[in-house]
Chain A
Amino acid sequence: MGKTFVEKVFSKKAGKEVKAGTIVSVEPDYVMSHDNAAAISGTFRKIGVNRIKYPERVVIILDHEVPAPKESSAINHKEIRAFVKEQNIENFFDINHGICHQIFTEQGFAMPGKLIVGSDSHTTTYGALGALSAGIGRSEVAAIWATGELWFSVPETLKIVINGIIPKYITPKDIALYIIGKIGSDGADYKAVEFAGDTISRMTVPERMVLSNMAAEMGAKCGYTPPDHNTFDFIRGKARSEYESLYSDNDAVYCDVIEFNADDVSPSVAKPHTVDNLASIKEVEGTKIDQALIGTCTNGRLEDLEAAAKVLKGNKVKVRTLIIPASRNIYKDAIKNGTIEILVEAGAIILNPGCGPCLGAHQGVMAPGEVTFSTANRNFKGRMGCREAEIYLGSPISVAAAAITGEITDPGRLLS
């Protein structure tokens, strides 16, 4: 009987053959944290260990409240910088870099076959590079800092096969929202997700990152895409170390295999207040919005900004429109190729690379009764700082179209 990708990674790490359902204690290759490193350092000290066991495996990227919006955030950042110095953590990226998942990938920490954990639920993103990457809690990060290892349950694997040509005005985000709507926000709870099919094969790594990022919204432990030539091209010159690509065997046992056809996907929207509250954009057309948000770890890459600019070019936004490049490099590229100019010309506000308003900490917090149409990954009640506000989720193309009209609009109708 063959093994799945995750069974292979955990077997390799554990030094013995393990199957789904086993609990193993193993050493992750990297452990990522962000602004919560301040709280984690406090927990770490409570353990009573003076030095991080493997500082070279620790990556800290400040992105959640950057630049500090209030004194308490500034104190957090200050404590983290002092801790980084004290513990000789070389892989530290201060507030001028960008969103942790984007920086982690750009900096070459995300590599095929690696076991990566992070104190952020969207750590699943690195599955797009063929890694096994999972979100964990803060105490768990402190535990890894102290001991180098952590307990894991080897998950079953759900295979999601997507075939067909993606229609015009449809993006990987629409596909992700569509799948989550079909299988539910616990459709992959405690499971590994493996993406396959010809649609996935044709996708670039940044496009695959959208799916792996959104795997967290299916409840998945990780969202793996088998590495191929696109992956190897992407990480050439970036990879931080040697790596070994791992693949599920042909006779691996999956708990389920679900197939989707990309041709069936229309522009998709998640209505308030859960990500699986799926609607096709036609069903919610005309919904008035107060704010449009294009960015975040889901949709703040160059491709997303370019897609938005294509829609906004020559138009003026009707609502406040926030654009957040996911990293400084993306920001720079978008300046160089004229994308930023188009967006600013249209009346959008460019925010600094970071998590921004996605989690309601600062920048673009909503007032009661307001509606935001966002490219982020969550629309939970109160997510953007106000429980009497509503969040709809969609693709950069759909959100840009709505920014022009002031209401949710089928981009196909607007642009054709």
Chain B
Amino acid sequence: MNGKFEGKVWKYGDNINTDVIFPGKYTYQKMEPEEMAKHAFEDHDPEFVNKVNDGDILVAGRNFGMGSSREQAAVAIKYAGIRVIIARSFSRIYFRNAINAGMPAIIAPEVVDALEEGDRVTIDMENGKIITPKREFAFPPYPSTVMNILQKGGLINFIKSNI
């Protein structure tokens, strides 16, 4: 994952939990990722799926994705069009699920402060830079284990390439 991502910002608050991102009533229904995407943020912002565009960037507050281990909460957002999530902090399992789904999850509180909904933002993975309308920020590189997974587009692809 050496590419650049450029997209429009959708901004949400603190402690957004997995149940409002992907309700439990769908969790044990077998779904393809495209179908999961239709339910992204259903109990938090039912309009999200209608307004999000492919390539958009999600910006959130503290503890994004707290709660359940359900991986669909990461996959649904990715397939709804979100390329990168920037947050003040991520819940532990959500962070792993995002990486394992091949979607960069970047912890950068000062970037969250600098961005408003509707802003354009550029994330330069290779050089560890986030460019906002106000200014440019640096973010620390991922450990190589995590970077390798992202570069392969997620954990399953990573494992396939190693077997």
Q: Do A and B come from one complex?
A: yes
* Alpha-carbon gap, A387 to B39, bound state (A): 14
0 or 1 for each of B131-163: is its CB under 8 Å from A? (1 = yes): 000000000000101100100001110011011
Find out whether the CB atom of A186 lies under 8 angstroms from the CB atom of B156.
Answer: no
Q: Are B71 and A138 in contact, CB atoms less than 8 angstroms apart? A: yes
Q: Which residues of the other chain, A, contact B162 by a CB distance below 8 angstroms?
A: 147
Closest approach, in angstroms, between the C-beta of B157 and any C-beta of chain A?
9
- Inter-chain contacts of B74 with A (CB < 8 A): 137
Cβ-defined contact, A76 with B63, below 8 A: no
Q: How far is the CA of A135 from the CA of B67 in the complex (A)?
A: 10
Give A385's nearest chain B residue, CB to CB: B25
A320 within 8 A of partner (CB): no
B15 partner, pick from A123, A274, A383, beta carbons under 8 A: A274
Supposing A38-B30, A137-B69, A186-B66 touch, asked if A359 and B96 sit within 8 A by C-beta, the answer is: no
CB of B89 within 8 A of CB of A189, answer: yes
**A119, B68: Cα distance in complex, Å:** 9
Given the known interface contacts A137-B97, A140-B96, A382-B19, the answer about A121 and B28 at a Cβ–Cβ threshold of 8 Å is no
- Of B28, B97, B156, B159, which is within 8 A of A76 by CB? B28
Across the interface, do B43 and A219 meet the contact criterion of CB distance under 8 Å?
Answer: no
Contact check, A380 vs B159: say whether CB atoms are below 8 A apart: no
Q: Are A361 and B66 in contact (CB under 8 A)?
A: no
**Contact partners of B155 in chain A: CB under 8 A:** 139-140, 143
| A residues 24-62 in Cβ contact with B at 8 Å | 25, 35-36, 38-39, 42-43, 46-49
Give every chain B residue within 8 A of A147 (Cβ-Cβ): 159, 162-163
Most chain A CB within a 10 A radius of its CB, from B43, B66, B163: B66
Chain A nearest CB: distance from B22 CB in Å?
10
Q: Is the CB of B68 within 8 A of A140?
A: no
Q: How far is the CB of B37 from chain A (nearest CB, A)?
A: 16
Are the C-beta atoms of B91 and A186 separated by less than 8 Å?
yes
Q: Which of B59-75 contact A (CB under 8 A)?
A: 62-63, 66-71, 74
Partner of A380, one of B17, B62, B63: B17
Q: Residue A186 contacts which of B63, B68, B101, B149 (CB distance < 8 angstroms)?
A: B63
Name the B residues within 8 Å of A135 (CB-CB): 69, 93
User: B92 at the A/B interface (Cβ < 8 Å)?
Assistant: yes
Sampled A-B contacts (5; CB under 8 Å): A36-B27, A38-B30, A189-B90, A378-B67, A380-B17
Seed contacts A189-B91, A378-B67, A381-B44; 8 additional CB < 8 Å A-B pairs: A47-B163, A120-B69, A121-B68, A135-B93, A137-B69, A140-B100, A143-B156, A378-B68
